[in-house]
Structure 1
Amino acid sequence: MQSSDPRNFFETDAEQATRKRRAAKAGNKYGNPIQLKSKILAAVVDPRSPSSAVLVAESAGAVRRVSLDDDGDVKTVYRGPTSPVCSLAVGGPGNRTLFAGSWDKCVWSWDLATKVAGRKFIGHSDFVKALVCAKVGGKDCLISGGADKKIIVWDIATGARLHTLKDDIVNMMSLQDLVVDHASSSEDEICLVSASSDPHIRRWKIRLDGWEQVVEDAPDAPGTERRTVLEHETTIYKLVFDYDSADVDLWTSSGDGTTKCLSRLRGFTADDTYDHGGHVRAVAVTGQWIITGGRDEDLKFWDRALGKLHCCLQGHFDEITDLVVLEASKGTPSRVCSVSIDGTVRTWPLDKAGLDALVEEQNKPAQVVEEEEAETGNAGLLSVDEEAELAALMEDDE
């Protein structure tokens, strides 16, 4: 009988310390965790329930709908891939189709309501790591980015490959994220922005009859050609446009440990920089907060008005991979949802009072917390055996 328990193999002192620390954190209840059985690599809001449900990409090779209401339902599963799913998008006519990019080099699709499998888009030669949907010239399109350094534009209705975008001058590495710049797009031409494992941000103009990479004057050196936006030192994981601001600036998160606001009025040069530390895998933006998460497992809330850190929240016990903002609804305020390699989906308040209450809770001495848990009968989410099993899972190779 084979075992994947890391305790049965040689471990360095650092590996042992990491495993024990994660096992110790695994039972915490911060963020009302919903525990899944596999690592979560990406998330998007379910457009049918934008205030109460998310769709998550699992390393087990499926997409799962997670209800964030009291029932915590996770039974709706979209199956097909046998390799990890690492990117998601929802689009197509009526916003009714779910798309998932997989390590098997394909993009899978399902009817969002019925879970019936649809077309499979085959064209990449490596992992499909980024997806976005857009309407170009009246046609519903899917745009995928892969570890093969290619961006492919697909006709959703026919499955035809319309364009393949590549930067042959400034070497483009594995794609990490894609986002449509609606402020610079028109009905017949969209502006796509891409992030990759190199530090360059690229902008593309896409039409039904062709495409081109945006090349413009460098804002700091007029007359000098600029093919890319270069404001980071290494991998850029996430791109988010701030539609709460009049200028619709671009926010980024990077492996250099920073999140930056790239000002549209200044030619997408850095206007504000927040030093999260470590690899910053995800960033979410609201009118009041900039929220960052990454390899250090912590969720950080930055006050936009003051330009400084408001609080740091613990909860996850492995790398945070994505953040999504949930809409407010009747009786439910807007929240932010975080997902992680630890297999948990957590939700956090966005009001200052709610955040401050969480900070106070997390700062309680351990003895006080244990006494309160004993009184309420909530002495941890997991048993000792479950914690050991979860710790072993966290150490498995992706």
Structure 2
Amino acid sequence: MASGKLTARKAETTKPGRYGDGAGLWLVVAATGARKWVFRFTWQGKVTEMGLGPADAVSLAEARRLRDEARRTLVGGENPIEARREAQKAKAGKPTFGAMADALIESKASEWRNPKHRAQWVMTLRDYGAPLRAKPVDEIDTESVLAVLKPIWLEKPETASRLRGRIEAVLDAAKAQGHRTGENPAAWRGHLSHLLPKRGKLTRGHHAAMAYADLPAFVAQLREREALAAMALELCILTATRTNEVLGARWSEIDFALKVWTVPAERTKPGRPHRIPLSTRAMTMLEKLSTAKTGEYVFPGQRDGKPLSNMAMEMVLRRMNARGVTVHGFRSAFRDWAGNETPFPREVAEAALSHVVGDKAEQAYRRGDALEKRRALMEAWAQFCEPNGGANIVAFKKSDRASA
């Protein structure tokens, strides 16, 4: 809208009175010298005034912008005073990003089988997402998201990528609850993909793994330790399982007659039951442990009713000065050994790791879990890991796939 009758100079120097700028905008100067802007309009046959703020804080240009905004509301059939009141009320009721993030984590708690997963969500959204937490969730924009991602995008690519996805999830939840509108500023495809390096250019970290050739000597040293955590680590190696699966193992999951350990769906990463054929060495260990069992857990902790701590096996590695090695890395060692040294098909090795193989159509037809083929594989792995027994596998021939 074109400029009116007032100038910035006049707005600052006029004497007490009322001064019109046009289109309903007035400057009201009190006898005390106080100056304020008002928008004068007619609503339902009654002349009404809407305050636009003090003149010492709101410039003439800003007052005109507010007037124009109020006029558009009026033309749209709404009382601008009521519209502003409702907007302020809605804004006051908007949750902060932090409150929305905490609520989302709480609602998703039942989805996560591993407490570590929840802890990662909490940590990233609390620590790395700290600059966002106090902001109303509807005020988070692309600039806000980039401000927390850019400092770690190249330095900690995996963490940054997960943080981005979690911010996107929080904002999606806010939109679903009516607290936001418009596109998600944390979306990758078609948005942040144009503003940050592509995922392919980032380096993905891998769990540090011991070379499989070193396993027999390592197992020999491991057996010199009588600690329960050392036995847990050996069983973890022999079964190629994950930390939480071993430490959370219950006696009810072990079938001594069939020599099978079944990890229930709620404790596996893929969310489906995982049957593990137990090698001769694994069975010997479990039978020995069963003679001294004190509760439901195979590896009970010091606190009644609780298993060993998630850090128990990691601490064994530290005490053994196994630098650059992680518990999870033994799964990689197993996979490298199976692929490099045995004739077992890739699908059998992947099934042993409880990995999903093939697309959805292939999975629909692949109903079995190759238990007996995996039994032969895990027995061979146990023999390989046996101190001074690593050469047992050399007799395998890569071309002899039918024997697998």
Fold equivalence (TM over 0.5): no
Q: Give the structure with the higher percent strand.
A: 1
Q: Give the structure with the higher percent helix.
A: 2
Q: Which has the larger radius of gyration?
A: 2
If the TM-score is normalised by the length of the shorter chain, which range does it land in?
Answer: under 0.3
Question: 1 or 2 for the larger relative contact order (CA 8 Å, sep ≥6)?
Answer: 1
TM-score, normalisation: structure 1: 0.22
TM-score, normalisation: structure 2: 0.22
